[in-house]
Amino acid sequence: MTKTLTPSAALQQGFTDEAFAAFIAERSEPAWLTQLRREAWKTFQQTPLPDRSQEEWNRTDIRALRLEDFGLAPAGEHPGDLTPPLLGDSLQPCGELALVDSASAIIRWDDQLQQQGVLFGTLQKLVSAHAELLRPYLTNPLVDPATDKFAALSAACWSDGCLLYVPRNVKLSRPVHIRSVLAGGGCLLDRVLIVLDEGAEATVLAEAASADPQAPALQCGTVEIFLGPRANLRYVGVQDWGKGVWHFAHHKARLGREASLRWTVAALGSRLAKVNQHVVLAEPGASAQVDGVMFAEDSQHLSYHTLQHHMAGGCTSDLLYKGALQDRARIVWRGMIRVDPDAQKTDGYQRNDNLMLSEQARSDSIPGLEIMADDVKCSHGATTGRVDEEMIFYAAARGLTRKEATRLIVAGFFQQVFDRITIDQVRTALAQTIARRVQEFRSA
């Protein structure tokens, strides 16, 4: 089904007590959820903005961020025109939901899935209709609101979001598509909750974009993934915010016994992005494959921190992040494999490679291991290099321009990650998007 969308209401400037009171007053939610919001708001008020004196933030400078320039939007409906989807319509999703500014709406949904007990739609509506089912996941969230000021803001003021719940042994044959859109400037505080019960399977494609590629904006949100025993999830998250967007997010997944997660991340947009991506292998036999594609240009700053947390024995995690930078862009990747004392027979691996396309670009790669068990196989690696002029010359000798040669080199650099993406349309869309942005390489 299709929904007609109308313009949203204006922002209330600043994150003030008065704005928060008005935000709470206009919502119709269970009392326990309102209390959770109030507790998170108190944490937000008491928590200062992070600064470079903290180890996690010492390579990410947010002194130019003025939170008072943004604020909470009253509940509204979507603007009518959405940005064209990066992943296209060829995927034929069984469900599609758009999160735009302060509201959300289902664009497409296969009603037959509802008969199997699948829940998909706006979190705001479903949490009221299925409070007892969803309350455990919201009262015991994967992302602790006390993690930092942005996590607290998201927990207190998420205006809406998306829920996907797949019951036991139900398998979705087609993907679910989630689109987050900033219609102009302003603020988007969203929350995505994905729950797969025992033996369930699903594919989720999530993409984020701005209608105005230069408008100043703040996006702050969470993605929480709960996988039951033997559940299987493929999750693709593509971040392509406009160059005026401050992007802060916490993404976390918890895997049950013998659950499987294939998680692909693409970081392409924003002015500054600081994202924490955590995978918790909580029960024996769980496995996770995490793939990251990062491309930064102009003066973009992309900071992604990953954690592969092995809590139980016999689990496997494999992470591969690749980043390419041009102009004066900077990428920061900090990765950690943590193995708890009881997590024997762990097999963990992480790798980060960066390709510099200009003399002014900078990359920081910080892999790490915390091993507290003695029967494990864990390793990590990181590389950073520049385009080889000999490769440019070799391609030019065969009729390619320098720009075409650079694109060919970048495509080859990312191919190892693309080969790990099992969805053809996603692989093609990412390759084409990056190719369009690659400039001609010139050495100093």
Distances (CA, A) of 6 to 28, 80, 261, 414: 21, 5, 37, 40
User: What Rg value do the Cα atoms of the chain yield, rounded?
Assistant: 21
**Residue 385: pLDDT over 60:** yes
Are 271 and 244 within 8 A, CB to CB? yes
Using DSSP's 3-state secondary structure scheme, residue 99 falls into strand
- By the 8 A CB rule, do 192 and 124 touch? no
State the Cα–Cα distance between residues 330 and 59, nearest whole angstrom. 10
Strand-by-strand arrangement of the 217-227 sheet: 119-122, 160-166, 186-196, 217-227, 245-255, 272-281, 301-310, 330-339, 362-371
Q: How far apart are CA 431 and CA 409, in angstroms?
A: 12
Other Cβ atoms closer than 10 A to 58: 13
Q: Encoding tokens for residue 266? A: 């693409």
Note the pLDDT tens digit of each residue in 193-225: 999 999 999 999 999 999 888 999 999 999 999
Using alpha carbons, select from 79, 61, 76, 52 the residue that is nearest to residue 124. Answer: 76
Distances (CA, A) of 410 to 237, 406, 414: 21, 6, 6
Label residue 87 by pLDDT band (50, 70, 90): confident
DSSP 8-state assignment for residue 68: G
Cα distance between residue 273 and residue 275, in whole Å: 6
Q: What's the pLDDT tens digit per position in 38-72?
A: 999 999 999 999 999 999 999 999 999 999 999 88
Answer yes or no: is pLDDT of 12 > 70: no
Average pLDDT, the chain: 91
Looking at residue 37, its pLDDT comes to 97
The predicted model scores a pTM of 0.94
Give the burial string for 396-407 (b: 16+ CB within 10 Å, else e).
eeeeeebeebbb
Q: Give residue 43's pLDDT.
A: 98
pLDDT bracket for residue 281 (50, 70, 90): very high
- Segment 237-246 mean pLDDT: 96
Instruction: Find the mean pLDDT for residues 408-432.
Output: 93
109-118 own/partner pairs: CB under 8 Å, 24+ apart: 109/1, 110/174, 113/172, 116/167, 116/170, 117/167, 117/170, 118/164, 118/165, 118/166, 118/167, 118/170, 118/172
Check pLDDT > 50 for residue 268: yes
Q: In what order do the strands lie in the sheet with 201-210?
A: 103-109, 95-100, 176-182, 201-210, 232-240, 260-267, 287-296, 316-325, 346-356, 376-386
State how far the Cα of 352 lies from the Cα of 344, in Å rounded to an integer. Answer: 25
What secondary structure letter does DSSP report for 283?
S
Gap between the Cα atoms of 389 and 291, Å rounded = 28
Residue 74 has a pLDDT of 65
* Alpha carbon distance 280, 278 (integer Å): 6
Q: Which neighbouring-strand residues pair with 352?
A: 321, 382
Q: Give the pLDDT confidence score for residue 444 in this predicted structure.
A: 54
Highest mean pLDDT among 13-17, 149-153, 440-444: 149-153
pLDDT at res. 229: 98
